[in-house]
Amino acid sequence: MGQRIGCFDRVVWIVLDSVGIGELPDAADYGDVGRDTLGHIARSRPLRLPNLVRLGLANIKPLDHLTPPAKPAGSFGKGATHSPGKDTTTGHWEMAGIWLDRAFPVYPNGFPKPLIEEFEGQIGRRTLANKPASGTEILNELGEQHMRTGYPIVYTSGDSVFQIAAHEDVIPVAELYRMCEIARKLLDDPNRVGRVIARPFTGAPGSFRRTERRHDYAVQPPRPMLLDVLAEKKIPVLGVGKIHDIYNGRGVENYVTTKNNTDGMAKLREALARQPTGLVFANLVDFDMLYGHRKDVEGFARSLEEFDALLGPFMNSLPASGLLLITADHGCDPDPVNPTTDHSREYVPILAFSPGSGGGKNLGARSTLADMGQTVAENFSASIPHGKSFLAEITG
C-alpha cells in the first residue's frame, strides 16, 4: 500500500447518537422516505457549527445556512448501514465489523403474552403497559399507578428494546437491574431483542424525571469484532458513555459512564490526559434520547451547537499523533412533518481529523459502517471481518 501502518498513537472515536445525514437507498423498506436528521435541523434555522463545518460536515452534502470550506481541515464522507435495522446495537456492531443477517425483532403490538407471564413469574410481580411508547409519555400515563402497585412498567419502541421503568423509591435500582438480567436471559431466539434497558426514574406524578442510572444489557456480540482484535494485541480501549454496555464490556479495558453530552466531552478531555495510546470510543446520547425521540427540533439544534462549542477546544488539545473520528449510528429525524418518533434509516456523517495530517479528502459514500472500524483496526496492525479501510486516504 505504500502507507505506514500505525500512523496514529491514539484514536478518539465519537458517535453522535442519531445524527443522520439523509435517507439511505432502502429507506422505503423502513417507512423512512424523506427523513433527513441533519438536513431538516439545518433547514429549521441557521446553525452555529463552525468546528464541524471546518472539519467538512457541510462538504458531505448541502446543508441549509452552512457554507462548506474550499479545503476542510478534516476528511469527510458518509456511511451506509449494510445490516438490516436502524438501532444503536446494529450501528455500533457494524462499526466494529459485524454484519447481521436479519434485523433484531421489534414489537409494535407489545411482547408475547407467554413471555411476559414468564417474566412476571420470575420477578415475583405483575407488570404494566407491555406496548410501544415514548419513555416520557409512558411515565405520565402509568407512573402514578406504578408507584401505587409496585408493578414495573415494561415497554418497547420502534427499536428492538425491552425497557423496564421503575421509580427508585418503589423499586431500588439494584432490584431493577436484577429484573433486567432476568429479562436478558429470557429474551433469546425468537425474541432476541438487541437491548434490555433499565429506566429508573424519580419525582412525583406530573414531574417524573428519568435518572442517569440507566443501564443497557446488550446481546453478546459475535466474534471476532474490532474490540476483540484490539484486546488480543494489547491495545488499550476506553469506553465513554454506553459503549461498554453496547459491546457487553468485551475488549473494553476501562470505561466511564456519562450524565449527558457535556459530561461526555469532559470525560473525553480527561482521557486525552490519561490515555496516550489506543482507542477512546465514546457515545454521546443526548441527541437521540432528549431530542430526536421527542421530536424537539430546536433542542436538537441547540445540542449540536453545544457539542460544536466543546469540540473546538478538544481539537486544539489533540496531538499530531492523534486521530479524531466523528460519526453517528443511525438517524432520528425530529422533523414534525413525519409523525413517528422512531429512529430513521439514514447515512451517517464520517469526519476524520488529525493535526498531523492535511485533511480535505473526500471519502465518498462508504458502503458499510465497518469501513471506520477497519480503518481503526489497520492503524493498530489488525483487521476485522468486514469493511474497507480509508487509513491511506486520510494520511496520504
Is CATH 3.40.720.10 the right assignment for the domain spanning 10-103+220-395? yes
Determine the Cα–Cα distance for residues 338 and 34; give it in Å rounded to an integer: 9
Q: Residue with C-alpha cell 465519537? A: 14
pLDDT at 393: 95
Running along the chain, 396 residues long, what does each successive block of 10 average in pLDDT? 62 98 97 97 98 98 97 97 95 98 94 98 98 92 98 93 98 98 95 95 96 90 96 97 94 94 97 94 95 95 98 96 97 92 95 91 98 98 97 92
Contacts of 320 (CB under 8 A, 6+ apart): 354, 355, 356
Question: Is the pTM above the cut of 0.85?
Answer: yes
pLDDT at 6: 57
Q: Is there a contact between 217 and 188 (Cβ–Cβ < 8 Å)? A: no
Q: Is there a contact between 10 and 277 (Cβ–Cβ < 8 Å)? A: yes
- For 206, half-sphere exposure in the C-beta direction (CA atoms, 13 angstrom radius) is 0
Q: Is there a contact between 384 and 224 (Cβ–Cβ < 8 Å)? A: yes
Give start and end residues of each alpha helix (H) in 64-218: 88-95, 113-123, 135-149, 173-186
Is CATH 3.30.70.1250 the right assignment for the domain spanning 113-218? yes
**What is the total residue count of the chain?**
396
Determine the Cα–Cα distance for residues 57 and 349; give it in Å rounded to an integer: 7
Q: Residue with C-alpha cell 424525571? A: 209
User: Comparing 10-103+220-395 with 113-218, is the CATH topology the same?
Assistant: no
Q: Residue with C-alpha cell 429506566? A: 199
> Amino acid identity of 90?
T
pLDDT at 339: 85
Beta-strand ranges (E) seen in the chain are 10-16, 75-79, 128-132, 153-156, 161-167, 195-202, 209-210, 215-218, 237-240, 254-256, 278-284, 322-327, 348-353, 362-366
Residue 335 phi/psi, 5-degree rounding, is: -55, 120
DSSP 215: E
CA dihedral 145, 147, 148, 149 (to 10 degrees): 80
Domain ranges of the chain: 10-103+220-395, 113-218
Alpha-carbon Rg for the chain in angstroms: 21
